[in-house]
Structure 1
């Protein structure tokens, strides 16, 4: 099997799984307990927090553990809205956000908040000036995805952060879930206040993530109870998962430094091959795009049909975001980029990891050509 659905989830590294099992077996005490087992678990959490902070370019006190990207995005958006509702009720985001951002904003809209969605061009990029033009004295938050999860477009988050320095009362949130360990991001140089990460996007385990909250920034917690994570996120910490996440983040960062050239070569090969196929329309831009995501439409076909066809050939890809793939509706990201519904309905996403090889990419191209030829023949026969 060739696995090209890494933007949905990555396969955990073997060493990560081993770390999870070892910690779960030996250090099962509650980190909040006063006894010796609790103390040992707490020490592991402290060490993992320090490792993650170092890798993210933050201080340990700026790292808060969560269950993943969706919780982190909800915490950033709703936590800001709750904390600063007396200051204003205006949030600015983009038209190509992950559902966990978009739906959180829509929930707030139903509660009386105003949401402004910044448009994108045909490549999925926003114009930072559009954010400035949308600012009002009621604006409390700007939320921007760093790497789009469907097409791979990289937004100019550092430029946006520097522009927002003029608005010290406006918090700046970046969804870095798809960029972590693939597209470097300097949290402090980008003047980011809150940033979201998810372990299973960099070969950790599902159900683990963390949020960077810059020192001095205060937002309201969404989960109250035991006062864990300095009151920001109550609930007994998943010690084994957090330790495994720290290990996965370190290993993925090492891969980024040593394997990026290989990953880019595979992406370039696939992009060039896809552009040669008359049945395909490539949506991912050549410039300012992530090294691991390619989005194409199978013209005249449904994306899910192509996904099933490739699966029969032993190649695993997806249609849109895994969080939206069962909706049977055209990709909101592609529609925001000006893609028509019929073309958007034919979209598939190929997403790579450092574990993939050029040989797999060549096999994928052969399989896709075979699938497209077969499906086109059937379509002509039935049409």
Structure 2
């Protein structure tokens, strides 16, 4: 996929390169799928069938029924549709929302906006290892709780949460409470079988994290919840009214290809990426003062660490000059200090010097070695500036 071996891209949690097979499928669909899938004449019917085939591919990768899968523009839109659409109609019987304290901004900010509209919001911070205390979380749910949210994989540390246990604990306390899961960083990195997760009511995914383009995502909404859902945007009957607006059929086709390929290659990719993660962990252990922020059982695609001596942005710029590309955390935070690491109780110095490396199957041992060499030189040079 990568055409230039001298470019060491290790920021795949921010975005991934578009797979050539995905790009080819989109290009073909742009030429052939020109009709509006909601129209009734033959070319439109064919486009509708193409859209349905793409939906089935994405649904299969998530282990849900195609009718429970809705195309959106991105994971952020999926999160907003789920959160606002669930909370508002339940206001008649409850007003409490329970959410983990290190969610992506597309969950955190809509929930806080609901707080400004009178909802009570309880944020449960993670433990120092990045995991949630499920007993503490479930204890916050009561008969007044209308919504509970938890991300499956943290976008900054790669920490995995036990979504099955989380959702079951919530439903045990209040079976009317709507459970939403942000799975943007988990999809096609971990197996997801929604039919085996009966307590999860909605789940969001995004295309550009899995080698599809930016501008396409999907929302799973359990069929028995659809009638109770009030989408925040109104318009036509597209996507069964959950996400109005003419569908982006070519990108949906691309998402289907990415889902199909990602599901098929998941075991082999995971083994390859685990080896890269282990190589980086071993190399970091030899650098004085460096500490790991990602837990040992995090997904191998993400490794967060702190140099504890050089500001994140300074080190990122130094590495970038060597064509090694990493980040300081979530791209959506635009360089702001990591709210995830702060929620975990990391020392201020660790937060200010944090680096996130994130892998895909296209990465190589040479990428890891280039990062380690850059860190080694950077630590030697930048500490004395």
Q: Same fold (TM over 0.5)?
A: yes
Is residue 230 of structure 1 aligned with residue 240 of structure 2? yes
Match of 2:33 in 1: 27
1:94-131 residue CA offsets vs partner (Å, 9 max, x unmatched): 11110111101110111001111112111111111112
Is residue 45 of structure 1 aligned with residue 51 of structure 2? yes
How far apart are residue 76 of structure 1 and its match?
1.1
Match of 1:381 in 2: none
1:212-234 residue CA offsets vs partner (Å, 9 max, x unmatched): 11120131112211111111110
Q: Give the Cα separation in 2 of the matches to 1:46 and 1:196.
A: 19
How far apart are residue 283 of structure 1 and its match?
0.5
Q: Give the Cα separation in 2 of the matches to 1:276 and 1:185.
A: 36
Q: Give the Cα separation in 1 of the matches to 2:169 and 2:144.
A: 17
Match of 1:266 in 2: 276
Q: Give the Cα separation in 2 of the matches to 1:342 and 1:263.
A: 29
Match of 2:304 in 1: 295
Q: Give the Cα separation in 2 of the matches to 1:187 and 1:318.
A: 32
Does the 8 Å CA contact 2:306/2:355 hold for their aligned counterparts?
A: yes
1:217-265 residue CA offsets vs partner (Å, 9 max, x unmatched): 1311122111111111100000000000000111122221222211101
Q: Give the Cα separation in 2 of the matches to 1:72 and 1:183.
A: 19
1:337-367 residue CA offsets vs partner (Å, 9 max, x unmatched): 1112232011111000011112221222112
Match of 1:209 in 2: 217
Q: Give the Cα separation in 2 of the matches to 1:348 and 1:359.
A: 19
Match of 2:96 in 1: 90
Match of 2:3 in 1: none
How far apart are residue 81 of structure 1 and its match?
1.1
1:315-354 residue CA offsets vs partner (Å, 9 max, x unmatched): 110111010023x3x2111011111223201111100001
Q: Give the Cα separation in 2 of the matches to 1:252 and 1:364.
A: 26
Match of 2:12 in 1: 6
What are structure 2's unaligned runs of at least 5 residues? 1-6
Q: 1:182 aligns with which of 180, 189, 202?
A: 189
> TM-score, normalised to structure 1's length?
0.95
Does the 8 Å CA contact 1:298/1:306 hold for their aligned counterparts?
A: no
How far apart are residue 138 of structure 1 and its match?
1.1
Match of 1:194 in 2: 202
Q: 2:313 aligns with which of 298, 304, 308?
A: 304
User: How large is the RMSD of aligned CA atoms in angstroms?
Assistant: 1.2
How far apart are residue 297 of structure 1 and its match?
1.3
1:1-383 pair list within 5 angstroms? 1-166=7-172, 167-190=174-197, 191-217=199-225, 218-287=228-297, 289-326=298-335, 328=336, 330-378=337-385
1:60-114 residue CA offsets vs partner (Å, 9 max, x unmatched): 1100111111001111111111121112111100111101111011101110011
Q: Give the Cα separation in 1 of the matches to 2:259 and 2:267.
A: 12
Q: Give the Cα separation in 2 of the matches to 1:275 and 1:84.
A: 50
Q: Which runs of structure 1 show a deviation greater than 6 angstroms over 4 or more consecutive aligned residues?
A: none
Closer, same or farther: CA 188–163 of 1 in aligned 2, 3 Å: farther
Range that drifts further, 161-170 or 136-145: 161-170
> TM-score, normalised to structure 2's length?
0.95
